[in-house]
A = this chain, B = another copy of it.
Amino acid sequence: MKKTQILIIGGGPAGTVCALTARKYYPDREITVVRDIENGVVPCGIPYMISSLRDPADNASSPKPLTANGIETAVERAVVIDRAGKTVRMESGEVYGYEKLVLAVGSSPIVPPLPGVDLPGIYPVKKELGYLLRMVEDLKERKNILVVGGGFIGIEFADELSRLPGCRVSLVEILPRLLANSFDPEFADLAGEKLKENGVEVLTGTRVTGFSGKDRVEKAILASGEEREVDAVVLGLGARPNVNLAAAAGLVLKGQQGIWVDEYLRTVDPNIFAIGDCATKRDFYTRKGIAVMLASTATAEARVAGANLFQLKVIRENKGTIAIYSTYVDGLVLGSAGLTEDSARKEAFEIAVGNAEATDRHPASMPTASKVKVKLIFSRGSEILLGGQAAGGISTGELINIIGMAIQKRDSRSELETLQMATHPWLTPPPTKYPLIAAAMRARSVD
């Protein structure tokens, strides 16, 4: 048996950051990270292996930061946790003893049980370098590619595929619009328009009912009965938490979608933590369970867990999970933090909404200027910020993080109205029209 003090199962962003954080807070403990695949990838970089990255292998993740910090690594697949004995048995037969165990076992892409879904040429998005390199090589040779799912991964794949010379791309989304869970229509529609401009066929409000083909996929069948010729299919339908290992050890509570954890990422077993996609999350506003599977969320959890494995050293001051997203479609950046107008209504919040637009340089004729628009959603009575969305150029990626921080700090409308900020001709909208402030000032009750 191999003994270690901190055993982390999973070598993705959550496992890696947890190990490095634990190294900082517990400099003298033995830490071991096991991963079940030899070569992983940077998860958010997967779509960019198609066109943006010159060499798709650049998206490989590396265990180097671990070994450089005195953390043991191994390629092993965990099969049984013995909570009483505090050991984990691996597929290889090897057994690891632990004092603290961290499950960072991630999620698996959803593969809908459709006829023909296992045909070659149909690709669920697995986070494995070799698989993805083969997928990218195949996709680059195809002419008719169907992307199933109009969430982040779907639109990013469609955008990247549309840049392949001679490639015709279709995107199918079951809901009436793209990005419906994260954006209100006036923002989500910008992504759809951009894709259409670039020749992507966007089919919303429809779904795929099956696939057919001889040696590989040749046709996709839509709900209307229409059959379409396709050379390849990418399935971007989201993911499900990997819970089998934990469930067998009694760590998944009844009715939970993931491994149950408290605010400090502790499972029901005080010596076992779970972080990232495999762990349950509670909504910042309502404490309901929510599914947010983002590397950024996973690393935030990993930092909380890594610091707090043996004692609670770092207090988690912002309880619950805020979904903060950003995405990129051929130069257009969309960001969303917290509740949308739609989701706030669904949760029965009484709201006030403010919108503002500006150019992200000033004066507007500065080189590289593009439009930026911001929408903020406040609680009507308490005037606390509930959510925000932004669309614009590259800087929108950090602008949405300002909104994210404002939500975490429970900023009020008047605090945003009197916000102090830096503005610069080359970098931001003018101080007279800084859209975050302007949107706060313009917030009005909506029914």
Q: Tell me the bound Cα distance from A222 to B303 in angstroms.
A: 55
**A274 CB-CB contact with B under 8 Å:** no
Given A394-B426, A404-B420, the answer on whether A431 and B314 have CB atoms closer than 8 Å is: no
A interface: dominant SS: mixed
Given A300-B420, A304-B418, the answer on whether A42 and B402 have CB atoms closer than 8 Å is: no
**A428 CB-CB contact with B under 8 Å:** yes
Residues 379-409 of A, flagged 1 when their CB comes within 8 A of B and 0 if not, give 0000000000000001111111110111011
Q: Tell me the bound Cα distance from A437 to B400 in angstroms.
A: 16
Tell me whether B428 and A398 are in contact (CB under 8 A): yes
Given A296-B420, A432-B17, the answer on whether A411 and B414 have CB atoms closer than 8 Å is: no
Tell me whether A423 and B295 are in contact (CB under 8 A): yes
Tell me whether B419 and A408 are in contact (CB under 8 A): yes
Tell me whether B415 and A397 are in contact (CB under 8 A): no
**A417 CB-CB contact with B under 8 Å:** yes
List, in ascending order, chain B residues with CB within 8 A of A322's CB: 420
- Beta-carbon nearest neighbor of A327 in chain B: B424
Mark out the residues of chain A between 36 and 61 whose CB falls within 8 Å of any chain B CB in the assembled complex: 42, 44-45, 48, 52-55, 58-59
Interface residue stretch chosen among A208-216, A343-351, A359-367: A359-367
Tell me whether B295 and A431 are in contact (CB under 8 A): yes
Given A365-B53, A414-B317, the answer on whether A423 and B16 have CB atoms closer than 8 Å is: no
Tell me whether B423 and A366 are in contact (CB under 8 A): no
**A4 CB-CB contact with B under 8 Å:** no
**A5 CB-CB contact with B under 8 Å:** no
Tell me whether B424 and A53 are in contact (CB under 8 A): no
Given A299-B431, A395-B398, A432-B17, the answer on whether A326 and B408 have CB atoms closer than 8 Å is: no
